[in-house]
Amino acid sequence: MELQGFGDGPPGMPGPHLRLPAPPGPDGEDWEPNRRLRQHRSASRQLAALLGRVLGDQRGLNETRQHLHQQLQLAITGLQGLDANLGHVLTSLGTGQGQEEGQEVEESDGPAQGPSSQASGTAHWEAKVDGYHIVAHYTHWLGRAAEDLARLKEHLKPEA
C-alpha cells in the first residue's frame, strides 16, 4: 500500500467506471475445467490491459516510483505468460480453444491513459483507488487460477 502512496489507510470503493472481471463461483459449484480455464484466460487478458492502464497512470502520478512501475510491468508480463500457458493447457485438453484469435492484450509500455489535465487531488486519489482495486482483483484471480490448475492436475492424475 505504501508503494501506491496510501499512507492514510485503505482506499474507498472503486468508481462505477471500473469494470473488473467477475471471479468464477466457489470450487464446489459447476466444476467444468474447460469453462473455468477459459474464464481465467479471459480474466488474465482483461487484467493485463487494466494493469497497463494503472501503469500508465502511475507513471504520470508517481514518476519517481520506479520500483512500483517495475512491479506492475512484471505483473503484466506474468499475466501474458499465464494467458499463453492456459492456451496451451486448453489445446492439450482438446478443446480447440487454446489459440483464440482477435483477443490481444493492450501494450503497456507507454502511458495508457495518464492522468487527465484536471490533476486535482480528487482525480489523483481516484486513480490510486482504481489502481489499488485492480491490483487486489489481480491477486484474487491469480490465487483462483492456481487453485483451479491444481484441481485440474489432481483430476487428470492416472489412478494407481
Provide the grid cell at 140. 484474487
User: Is 72 within a domain?
Assistant: yes
The average confidence (pLDDT) of the chain is 70
Question: Which residue, chain included where needed, has cell 471471479?
Answer: 23
* N- to C-terminal Cα separation, the chain: 47
Residue type, 64: T
In the DSSP assignment, the letter for residue 32 is: -
pTM: 0.59
* CA atoms 126, 58, 117, 124: torsion sign: positive
pLDDT band at 142 (very low <50, low <70, confident <90, very high): confident
Identify the domain containing residue 46 by its residue range. 33-156
**8 Å CB contact between 100 and 68:** no
Rounded CA separation 112/49 (Å): 9
How confident is the model over 17-32, as pLDDT tens digits?
556 666 555 555 566 7
| Statement: residue 125 has pLDDT above 80 | no
**Cα separation, 51 vs 39, whole angstroms:** 18
Per-residue cell: 118:
484536471
Q: Average of pLDDT values for 112-140?
A: 64
Q: Identify the DSSP state of 109.
A: S
Better-scored residue on pLDDT, 109 or 74: 74
| Domain count of the fold of the chain | 1
Q: Is residue 2 part of a domain?
A: no
Per the model's pLDDT, the better-predicted residue between 144 and 97 turns out to be: 144
Q: How many CB atoms lie within 10 A of CB 78?
A: 15
Q: What is the pLDDT of residue 130?
A: 75
Any domain includes 129? yes
Tens of pLDDT, residue by residue over 47-104, are 898 889 889 988 888 888 899 899 999 999 988 988 888 888 888 877 765 555 444 4
